C-alpha cells in the first residue's frame, strides 16, 4: 500500500508539528507539567468543537478509542519523565526511533501488512538512523533514567499508533475518530497538574505563557489528526516511519533553539534516515 505524494507531504508536515510542540514542552523547564496539560486540554476543546461537524463514528471503534486513551495516559507520563532527565535531542530520537520497527511488526501480525524486503530494509534504516541521532554523543550518554523512560515511551508510541490506525479504520469516519480521541485523551494531564500544583501557579502560568501552550495544543492536535488520517488510508509501517522523521526537525530545533550540540555523527544518522525513506517509497 504505497503512499501518494500528497499524503507523504502531509505526514512530513505532521512530523514538523510533532517536533515543534515537543520542543515547547521541553523548553518549559519550570512549568513543564502545566504546559503539557494545557497543550492536551487544547486538543480536548478543539475536538469538542469539531464533534457536531464531523458526523457519526461507528461503535466498532469504541474499544480502540478507549484503549488508545489509556495508552496515551502512560505515554504522557513516560514522556514527561524522559524530558525531566534528558535532552530533547537525546530522548526524542530514542522514543521515536523504536516506533517504525515495532509498528511494522505489529501491523504485519495484526493486519497482514507485510512489507517487501526492500521496504523492510527501509524501515530498519529509518529506525537505525533515528537511534543514531541519540548516539551522537557516544554510548556514555545512554545510561540513566532519561534513556530508560525514552525506551518505554517508544513502546507506548508504537502501541497507540497501531491502535489508532485500527480505530480510525473501524470508525468508518476518521475525522470523527480524531475528534473523539482528542475529547477522551486530552483533559487528564491538566487535571493531574491542577492536583499537583497550586491553582494560583496554574492561573499565573495561563496569564503569562498560556498562549504558547495553547498554540502548541493547536499544532499537536492538527499534527496527530493528520497522522491518524494517514494511518486510516495508508500502510501503518510507512506512515509511522515517515512521521518519525520528526526527529530530524527535533534535532535541528534542539540545536538551534535549545542550545544542544550537533555534529558529524548526526549528519550521518540523518543521511541513513533519508536512505531508508527512499527505499520505503520506491515504486517497484
> Quick one: pLDDT band at residue 65, thresholds 50, 70, 90?
very high
Domain that holds residue 222: 5-280
pLDDT of residue 234 exceeding 80, the answer is no
pLDDT of residue 17 exceeding 60, the answer is yes
Record the pTM. Answer: 0.79
Please tell me the predicted confidence (pLDDT) of residue 174.
Answer: 93
Please tell me the predicted confidence (pLDDT) of residue 146.
Answer: 77
Percent residues over pLDDT 90 in the chain: 21
pLDDT of residue 31 exceeding 80, the answer is no
Please identify which residue in the block is written with the cell numbers 515495532: 102
Please identify which residue in the block is written with the cell numbers 521496504: 119
Please tell me the predicted confidence (pLDDT) of residue 48.
Answer: 95
Which stretches of the chain are DSSP H helices? 5-27, 32-54, 62-85, 88-111, 117-134, 145-171, 174-185, 188-196, 199-233, 236-243, 246-256, 264-280
Please tell me the predicted confidence (pLDDT) of residue 5.
Answer: 78
Please tell me the predicted confidence (pLDDT) of residue 284.
Answer: 47
Number of domains in the chain: 1
HSE, CB side, 13 Å, CA atoms: give it for residue 50: 22
Segment 101-154, tens digit of pLDDT: 777 777 776 666 666 777 778 777 877 877 776 666 555 555 567 788 888 998
Amino acid at each position: 500500500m504505497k503512499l501518494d505524494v500528497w499524503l507523504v507531504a502531509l505526514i512530513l508536515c505532521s512530523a514538523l508539528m510533532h517536533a515543534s510542540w515537543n520542543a515547547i514542552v521541553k523548553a518549559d523547564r519550570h512549568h513543564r507539567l502545566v504546559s503539557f496539560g494545557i497543550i492536551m486540554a487544547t486538543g480536548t476543546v478543539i475536538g469538542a468543537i469539531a464533534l457536531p461537524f464531523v458526523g457519526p463514528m461507528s461503535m466498532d471503534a469504541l474499544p480502540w478509542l478507549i484503549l488508545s486513551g489509556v495508552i496515551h495516559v502512560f505515554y504522557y507520563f513516560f514522556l514527561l519523565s524522559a524530558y525531566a532527565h534528558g535532552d530533547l535531542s537525546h530522548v526524542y530520537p530514542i522514543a521515536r526511533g523504536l516506533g517504525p520497527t515495532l509498528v511494522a511488526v505489529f501491523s504485519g501480525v495484526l493486519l497482514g501488512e507485510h512489507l517487501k524486503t526492500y521496504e523492510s530494509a527501509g524501515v530498519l534504516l529509518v529506525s537505525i538512523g533515528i537511534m543514531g541521532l541519540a548516539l551522537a554523543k557516544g554510548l556514555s550518554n545512554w545510561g540513566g533514567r532519561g534513556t530508560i523512560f525514552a525506551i518505554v515511551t517508544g513502546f507506548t508510541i508504537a502501541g497507540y499508533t497501531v491502535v489508532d490506525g485500527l480505530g480510525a479504520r473501524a470508525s468508518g469516519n476518521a475525522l470523527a475518530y480524531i475528534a473523539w480521541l482528542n475529547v477522551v485523551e486530552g483533559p487528564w494531564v491538566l487535571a493531574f497538574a491542577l492536583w499537583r500544583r497550586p491553582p494560583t501557579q496554574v492561573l499565573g502560568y495561563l496569564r503569562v505563557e498560556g498562549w504558547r501552550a495553547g498554540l502548541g495544543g493547536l499544532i499537536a492536535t492538527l499534527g496527530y489528526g493528520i497522522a491518524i488520517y494517514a494511518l486510516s488510508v495508508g500502510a501503518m509501517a510507512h506512515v509511522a516511519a515517515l512521521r518519525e522523521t520528526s526527529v530530524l526537525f527535533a534535532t535541528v530545533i534542539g540545536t538551534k533553539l535549545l542550545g544542544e550540540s550537533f555534529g558529524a555523527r548526526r549528519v550521518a544518522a540523518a543521511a541513513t534516515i533519508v536512505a531508508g525513506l527512499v527505499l520505503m517509497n520506491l515504486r517497484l
